[in-house]
A = this chain, B = another copy of it.
């Protein structure tokens, strides 16, 4: 078990809840993306600027285990640790509800990088981790 290297605290917004009255599944994926981009930001890397330079960070695979639902008013934290695997940077991202520290979502997100449309060996990730 590796130690978390980044976390961000957020609050559920009512418009993120669906007709079951809980956060819609797809919204968790948005939470995860936002947390990754904030992590990049903490490393002085802007996802938007990368994109404008033709460097695309792309999710190639995602696995999510939904353990417990978040709902209106819930505060939660997204915790991250990463692992370099070949061309990929793998993000392990877990979401915990703050009120009781219960695990709500467990995710593994594989990210690759392309430059001008060509798959790279992930040199950008080495920089990121340096």
Contact = CB atoms under 8 A, between A and B. Distances in A.
Interface in A1-58: 13-15, 17-21, 24-27, 29-30, 33-34, 37, 41, 46-48, 51, 56, 58
Interface residues of A, number: 36
A18 B19 contact: yes
A72 interface: yes
Interface stretch (A59-67, A83-91, A96-104): A59-67
Main DSSP-derived SS at the A contact region: mixed
Interface in A88-125: none
Contacts of A62: 25, 62-64, 66
Interface of A: 13-15, 17-21, 24-27, 29-30, 33-34, 37, 41, 46-48, 51, 56, 58-66, 69, 71-73
